[in-house]
């Protein structure tokens, strides 16, 4: 089974619209076509970002985000990174590489190309949401 790491922006987009990020969650995660890798640092980021007031204007955003996070926590592969990577300019995004290092994930799925300026870290490919969906129809 493919192991993936989901960037926070993908989670947000999946909760707001029914485009490719929604497909990642609905078609791949909920249908158990992939195994999501998580760390406590990433889960904490999800919680902090998803609880921002600016997202509450979307219908049932908070309720849906809590349900999604509970699901991810229960069914993901939880890891404790023991290595701190310092490659990306936005230091807060290095936690995704920390997780990739310890989990040996196949993909980091992101929509953030300003900060993820590399296309691969060790054996983990960094891919857009759309490219991932098209690759694994």
Stretch (H or E) spanning 4: strand 2-6
Looking at residue 120, its pLDDT comes to: 94
- Please tell me the distance from the alpha carbon of residue 55 to that of residue 28, in angstroms, as a whole number: 24
- Please tell me the distance from the alpha carbon of residue 130 to that of residue 109, in angstroms, as a whole number: 9
Confirm or reject CATH 3.40.50.280 for domain 2-135, answering yes or no: no
pTM for this one? 0.94
Looking at residue 90, its pLDDT comes to: 84
Provide the CB-side half-sphere exposure for 133 (13 A, CA).
Answer: 15
Tell me the pLDDT tens digit for each residue of 8-54.
999 999 999 999 999 999 999 999 999 999 999 999 999 999 999 99
Give the 3-state secondary structure of residue 82.
coil
Tell me the pLDDT tens digit for each residue of 66-106.
999 999 999 999 999 998 999 988 888 999 999 999 999 99
Looking at residue 88, its pLDDT comes to: 84
Work out the mean pLDDT of the chain and round it to a whole number: 94
Question: In sequence order, what E strands does 7-135 have?
Answer: 34-39, 77-79, 107-110, 120-121, 124-128
């Amino acid at each position: 089974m493919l192991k993936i790491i989901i960037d926070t922006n993908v989670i947000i987009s999946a909760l707001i619209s029914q485009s490719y990020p929604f497909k990642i969650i609905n078609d791949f995660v909920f249908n158990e076509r992939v195994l999501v890798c998580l760390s406590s640092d990433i889960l904490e980021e999800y919680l902090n970002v998803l609880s921002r007031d600016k997202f509450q204007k979307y219908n049932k955003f908070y309720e849906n985000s809590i349900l999604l996070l509970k699901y991810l926590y229960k069914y993901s592969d939880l890891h404790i990174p023991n290595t701190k990577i310092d490659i990306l300019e936005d230091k807060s995004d290095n936690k995704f590489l920390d997780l990739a290092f310890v989990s040996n994930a196949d993909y980091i799925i992101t929509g953030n190309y300003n900060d993820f300026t590399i296309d691969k870290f060790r054996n983990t490919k960094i891919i857009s949401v759309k490219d991932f969906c098209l690759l694994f129809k």
